[in-house]
Structure 1
């Protein structure tokens, strides 16, 4: 079976601003699938964001296109290799015009920070302790002697 490619369609009111934002996060734009209506943001060999003007996104559905600044339809979580890498991603995104809608979440086994792009589309950057990913959060926290308690950073 060949790998499944994932394309996440995100609305924007300013395509050039969106391209600059995602490039500032370290992603590249695929020019072969980018024009005045859309930009293809390459996250990996199989995962892409298609940042589309609201008008163009509307041609793919009969449903209302929501305003991501006031409504959430999806939250996209992207892993990082360390807590520090999560903080670096947020710093880059904030410097590029993004905003942090809530405080960091530190669950002991997982550290997460949310970043809204300039249009309000939500990204979560997270680091999970490898042992917690393998054993499950409760077993990992029990080994740490802390129990599975949630705390905010």
Structure 2
């Protein structure tokens, strides 16, 4: 019979799972970096992320990318953003999802239309205005 192990609760203190604005900003910026700017293509110095790579998988890749965008929407809701801003964010995710559904050609618009980066800009504007203590200097 297998012996059960307990997870040490102290491990969760090290993860950014808190609901404060700074933790939300950290998570959202990390998602955007992975989805849009994970690696730089040599020669053209253009960053690409998991969103473009997932579009190589027909249909399913677009749904996974939309799920990451939906998580950013969830975080925006937790931050108390306006419905108008969240509707703009949902529109960005929807356009990205719809263009990504086109087999073969869906990679090209996803390479240029970066919905997660656009949504990060919207969230940063909200955080800078309503939670000024979370502002970080961009380098």
| TM, length-normalised to structure 2 | 0.26
**Which structure shows the higher strand fraction?**
1
| TM, length-normalised to structure 1 | 0.24
**Which structure shows the higher helix fraction?**
2
